[in-house]
Copies of this chain bind each other. A is one copy, B any other.
Amino acid sequence: MIKLAVVDDHPIVIQGIVSLINNLENMQVVGSFQSGSALISFLNTHEIDIVLLDVMLPDVNGIELCAQVKKLSPKTIVIAISNHTERSIIMQILQNGASGYILKNASVEELKNGIETALRGELAFSKEVIEIIAKPSVNDLKGRPKFTKREKQILQLIAQGKTTASIAEELFLSPLTIETHRRNMMQKLDVKNAIELINIATEQLLI
């Protein structure tokens, strides 16, 4: 019997996956979780064949969580389930050891096939994902730059629509410092205004 674990912060989605799996003869969902940390602590005491994980979770993002899972339990197969269609996200999660990437708007057949494909040791993708992978993007070449804690903190405030001055006040810093951080981030992502900064950073799960 193949043992699965499911991670998704939406119970209804878990319900959907569980009911899908239970229709299959040789598989069983033995654990479902709404956060990455819950999954990790479960994996410490249980052996799991396949993990289906949502890329957008409240505590960690799928890229990091996938790496954690593979580190903890290298033979566990990880399949990402996501809404994100950014090529770089897909590629990075695959590099971190995922065996598949299936979009949430994929049909249930696609998901079912994906699980079976991954079980055979192949890579599993939903149709749309294959198209995304097929055409390389210029943005990928940049890689995924790292933001420091301070930068992330400031980015979040920028994303809320706060001005440099008010952020400076809130963090007890000079406005010039805030500007420097903003500009450093903009340079890292090669964008030319704050809105683009937020958009790209959000896409790349940098916030």
Contact = CB atoms under 8 A, between A and B. Distances in A.
B111 A12 contact: yes
A160 B199 contact: yes
Given A11-B105, A11-B111, A161-B195, 20 more contacts: A11-B107, A12-B104, A13-B13, A13-B104, A15-B16, A15-B19, A16-B16, A16-B19, A18-B19, A34-B105, A159-B199, A160-B195, A160-B196, A161-B193, A161-B196, A161-B197, A161-B199, A163-B192, A194-B195, A195-B195
Contacts of A20: 12, 15
A127 interface: no
Contacts of A196: 160-161
A5 to B, nearest CB: 16
User: For the side of the interface on A, what is the size category?
Assistant: 20 to 34
B11 A13 contact: no
Contacts of A15: 16-17, 19-20, 108
Interface of A: 9-20, 34, 81, 104-108, 111, 158-161, 163, 191-199
A121 to B, nearest CB: 24
A106 B161 contact: no
A11 B106 contact: yes
A73 B152 CA distance: 49
Contacts of A14: 16
25 contacts: A9-B105, A10-B13, A11-B105, A11-B107, A11-B111, A12-B13, A12-B17, A12-B20, A12-B81, A12-B104, A12-B108, A13-B104, A15-B16, A15-B17, A15-B20, A16-B16, A159-B199, A160-B195, A160-B196, A161-B192, A161-B195, A161-B196, A163-B192, A194-B195, A195-B195
A117 to B, nearest CB: 17
Contacts of A81: 12
A21 to B, nearest CB: 11
Given A13-B13, A16-B14, A16-B16, A191 B161 contact: yes
